[in-house]
Amino acid sequence: MEEHEQVTARRNKLAELRRLGCRAYPNDFQPRDLAADVAAKHADSTAEVLEADASQVSIAGRLMAIRSFGKAAFAQLQDRSGRLQIYVTRADSGEDQFAVFRQLDLGDIVGVEGKLFRTRTGELTILVERLCYLAKALRPLPEKWHGLQDVELRYRQRSLDLLVNPEVRRVFERRALMLQSVRLFFTARGFLEVETPMMQAIAGGALARPFVTHHNALDIDLYLRIAPELYLKRLVVGGLDRVFELNRNFRNEGVSTQHNPEFTMLEFYQAYATYEDMMALTETLVAELATEVVGALRIPYGDHEIDLTPPWRRVSMKDAIAEQTGLARDAVDDPVRLRAFAEEQGIPVTVGMPHGKVAVEIFEKTTEATLIQPTFIVEYPVEVSPLARLSDDDPSLVDRFELFIAGRELANGFSELNDPTDQRQRFEAQLEARRGGDDEAHAMDEDYVRALEYGMPPTAGEGIGIDRLVMLLANAASIRDVILFPQMRPERP
């Protein structure tokens, strides 16, 4: 393959650097300072103060701009903290080092040491006395002004994206801060962080299609988990009354701005609590995270301003449907009339589909996207909630909620079903649904029922989609903007 002219030019400069006595990839330069620290420390230092200060600073990073004159040059050096201008002159750095500098390109990594001064325009700058070439960028960087715009290239070559688009780094710094805050929040409340299997013989805990893999030595198929739920509740049976897990789930479904096949889920379980306690805990958690990460409770998201100030609205699914569609509440309660409405609206409902599931279908199609401000939808139908405790008031419902913000589901929580007999019957009902063609129905898990038979305390639990929460707090439109390496089709040669 023919090498690009710009790559050839850079290879030639690398050869010239060797000729000048540089090692090609040295590793003996240790920067003592960071660009942003230096800038902060000397933000108010006048030219005279800097002149009188004999101390040296040393930073290392990537050359992101070079403005070169004959015997001197300004350049921008970028490290993990930010950028600082350097000034290299033949007089101050010496003939040999200046010759090295002249072989450097945008993107090259160097270390410099020298004294600070202020330029004519007042910019804090290092006058370079020692210059160490550290690594060559053999490929040219994207354009300095527009950065890398092509979203396909940005996702496929995240290194380059991070390098030239500083706002991308900020999103992932925000994400890291949020994860750290989540851990502090739960550990401060007595929750134990645990890790449960990602490879499971039965993919339980949610209604979704799993990825399948194979264990050679055991000669068994295993599933990548779609949820950690059933393992976390086994731990509650075992006396770990408060547990949380913050890690990846895998679902073998489509890719979109809202879905990546692997995504990060927070799940937590608290004994002697109810789903109402979980709603209150969620309000506190999200409000705290927003304050921590964004610094405000009213946050911008796309065209909206979201107000995360607790408490949030709570409304039953059927009331929400009635409110949105204009149907009378008794029509929503009536299986025949509700089904007729679905068919009239072109919402696909199958012949044997139970009333509760028809309601959920209608809710998802008509109402979900309208829930912009934080809203807990409560009173979920039992047919779509095989792991949730029955409502004491209405046996067709369970003590469950989902949280919607900006038209998207962010969390799902409920009082846990801890009656092993009921749990077995629910699994059997799911098997029936599966035989009826529902390939997302929950599988039977005998081992889990056996665990429940030892007695699980009354418990409530919840899952929160972390990527979506990061999207909200980082004002990102696509899940790919908050996942470092989103799933893409492989490039074809």
Partner RNA sequence: GGGCCGUUAGCUCAGGAGGUAGAGCAGCUGCCUUUUAAGCAGCGGGUCGAAGGUUCGAGUCCUUCACGGCCCA
Chain positions contacting RNA, by CB under 7 A: 4-6, 9, 13, 65-72, 74, 85, 87, 89-91, 105-106, 117, 119-123, 125, 139-153, 155, 254, 256-257, 348, 365, 369, 477-478, 480, 488-489, 491-492
Taking each helix axis as running N to C, give the angle between helix 420-435 and helix 446-453, from 0 to 180 degrees, rounded to the nearest 10: 160
Q: Tokens 């038209």 appear where?
A: 407
- Cβ of residue 275: shortest distance to RNA, in angstroms? 28
Q: From the centroid of its chain, how far is CA 378?
A: 26
Nearer to RNA, 309 or 370 (CB): 370
Q: Tokens 């929460």 appear where?
A: 469
Nearer to RNA, 155 or 244 (CB): 155
Give dist(CA 203, CA 448) in Å, integer. Answer: 12
Nearer to RNA, 93 or 196 (CB): 93
- Residue 267 and residue 281 in contact, taking contact as beta carbons nearer than 8 Å: no
Nearer to RNA, 150 or 221 (CB): 150
- Cβ of residue 66: shortest distance to RNA, in angstroms? 7
Nearer to RNA, 72 or 315 (CB): 72
- Residue 472 and residue 294 in contact, taking contact as beta carbons nearer than 8 Å: no
Which positions ≥6 away from 79 have C-beta within 8 Å?
31, 34, 35, 59, 60, 61, 62
- Cβ of residue 37: shortest distance to RNA, in angstroms? 19
- Cβ of residue 129: shortest distance to RNA, in angstroms? 13
- Cβ of residue 492: shortest distance to RNA, in angstroms? 4
Nearer to RNA, 13 or 234 (CB): 13
- Cβ of residue 7: shortest distance to RNA, in angstroms? 8
The 3-class SS string of the chain reads: CCCCHHHHHHHHHHHHHHHCCCCCCCCCCCCCCCHHHHHHHCCCCCHHHHHHCCCCEEEEEEEEEEEECCCEEEEEEEECCEEEEEEEEHHHHHHHHHHHHCCCCCCCEEEEEEEEEECCCCCEEEEEEEEEEEECCCCCCCCCCCCCCCHHHHHHCHHHHHHHCHHHHHHHHHHHHHHHHHHHHHHHCCCEECCCCCEECCCCCCCCCCCEEEECCCCEEEEECCCCHHHHHHHHHCCCCEEEEEEEEECCCCCCCCCCCEEEEEEEEEECCCHHHHHHHHHHHHHHHHHHHCCCCEEEECCEEEECCCCCEEEEHHHHHHHHHCCCHHHHHCHHHHHHHHHHCCCCCCCCCCHHHHHHHHHHHHHHHHCCCCEEEEEEEHHHCCCECECCCCCCEEEEEEEEECCEEEEEEEEECCCHHHHHHHHHHHHHHHHCCCCCCCCCCHHHHHHHHCCCCCEEEEEEEHHHHHHHHHCCCCHHHCCCCCCCCCCCC
Nearer to RNA, 5 or 439 (CB): 5
Nearer to RNA, 232 or 471 (CB): 471
Nearer to RNA, 106 or 280 (CB): 106
- Cβ of residue 405: shortest distance to RNA, in angstroms? 16
Tokens of residue 303, six digits: 């065209």
- Cβ of residue 42: shortest distance to RNA, in angstroms? 14
Nearer to RNA, 53 or 453 (CB): 53
- Cβ of residue 77: shortest distance to RNA, in angstroms? 12
- Cβ of residue 4: shortest distance to RNA, in angstroms? 5
- Residue 483 and residue 249 in contact, taking contact as beta carbons nearer than 8 Å: no
- Cβ of residue 372: shortest distance to RNA, in angstroms? 14
Nearer to RNA, 354 or 407 (CB): 407
Q: Which residues pair with 299 in a beta bridge?
A: 306
- Cβ of residue 262: shortest distance to RNA, in angstroms? 15
- Cβ of residue 139: shortest distance to RNA, in angstroms? 7
Nearer to RNA, 202 or 349 (CB): 349
Nearer to RNA, 290 or 342 (CB): 342
